[in-house]
Amino acid sequence: MFSIKVETNVKDIVASLAKYVGDQQKAVVRALNKTAISARASASQEVRAAGYNIKASAIKRSFSIKKASVGNLVVVLRSTGQPIALINYEARQTGSGVSFSVKGVRKTLRHAFIRTMSNGHVGVFERTGAALVNGAKGKKVGKRGKPIRANLPIRELFGPSIPTALSNSAVEEAIMRKIRDYFPKVLASELNYIRLKS
């Protein structure tokens, strides 16, 4: 799980959010919540820029936002999610296995293969049966009195999850920088809006 507390990360810019009262405090709340939305968009860009080939829509869906309020000047942006199927990381079948790309580096998993399942799902798989141990690919073996193939069963392979990608130091630093730059600007805009109204 990956989370950002905006109040914590901008305290070097705003000494104390509690010094704002009345309409100004409402402006702080709006600024915090807008910063979280902006940080979510920035997270999607930074994850992809770091070489994690995850769809922007999937990254956005992984986030939930616990909004700030006048009584709680903290907004929490949290990402949760399971590992992403390896097929989504530019997976390609090669003569020696399946190659894939993460963080701009292409690697090959020997003996892995790409297969379309009966339900139409396409994934990268590897065999987990006896064939991996003794090379007896395709050999009939007995199991509880029933013959099975030595190259079964198979399991699907996965790459990094979205929270894992977000915890990458370069990605996290870029998001924090976005927050530090964006929050004071949007707060100033919200406070100015209040002054114009009064």
- In this predicted structure, the answer to whether residue 163 has a pLDDT above a threshold of 70 is yes
Residues 75 and 149 in one domain: no
Q: Over the stretch 102-124, which tens digit does the pLDDT of each residue have?
A: 887 899 999 899 999 999 999 99
Task: Determine the structural domain holding residue 136 and report its residue range.
Answer: 85-159
- In this predicted structure, the answer to whether residue 147 has a pLDDT above a threshold of 70 is no
> Is the bond into 83 cis (omega within 30 degrees of 0)?
no
- In this predicted structure, the answer to whether residue 146 has a pLDDT above a threshold of 70 is no
Residues 89 and 176 in one domain: no
Residues 8 and 67 in one domain: yes
**DSSP alpha helix (H) spans, the chain:** 6-9, 23-49, 56-61, 131-134, 162-166, 169-197
Residues 37 and 11 in one domain: yes
Burial of 142 (0-12, 13-18, 19+ CB in 10 A): exposed
Residues 78 and 93 in one domain: no
Residue 152 token pair? 């079964």
Lowest mean pLDDT among 116-120, 138-142, 164-168: 138-142
Indicate the pLDDT class of residue 41, thresholds 50, 70 and 90. Answer: very high
Contact 73, 11 (CB under 8 A): no
Backbone angles phi, psi at 28, to 5 degrees: -60, -45
Residues 102 and 71 in one domain: no
Residue 6 confidence (pLDDT): 60
Residues 95 and 138 in one domain: yes
Number of domains observed in the structure of the chain: 2
Residues 90 and 152 in one domain: yes
Residue 7 confidence (pLDDT): 58
Residue 132 confidence (pLDDT): 47
Residues 37 and 98 in one domain: no
- In this predicted structure, the answer to whether residue 5 has a pLDDT above a threshold of 70 is no
Which of 121-135, 145-159, 177-191 tops mean pLDDT? 177-191
Q: Over the stretch 17-39, which tens digit does the pLDDT of each residue have?
A: 667 778 888 999 999 999 999 99
Contact 130, 143 (CB under 8 A): no
Q: Which residues contact 115 (CB under 8 A, 6 or more apart)?
A: 122, 123, 125, 154
Residues 8 and 80 in one domain: yes
Residues 94 and 108 in one domain: yes
- In this predicted structure, the answer to whether residue 57 has a pLDDT above a threshold of 90 is no
Residues 89 and 153 in one domain: yes
Residue 45 token pair? 């860009």
Give percent of the chain with pLDDT exceeding 70.
Answer: 78
Q: What CA–CA distances, in Å, run from 42 to 24, 50, 75, 93, 136?
A: 26, 12, 16, 33, 50
Rounded CA separation 98/106 (Å):
10
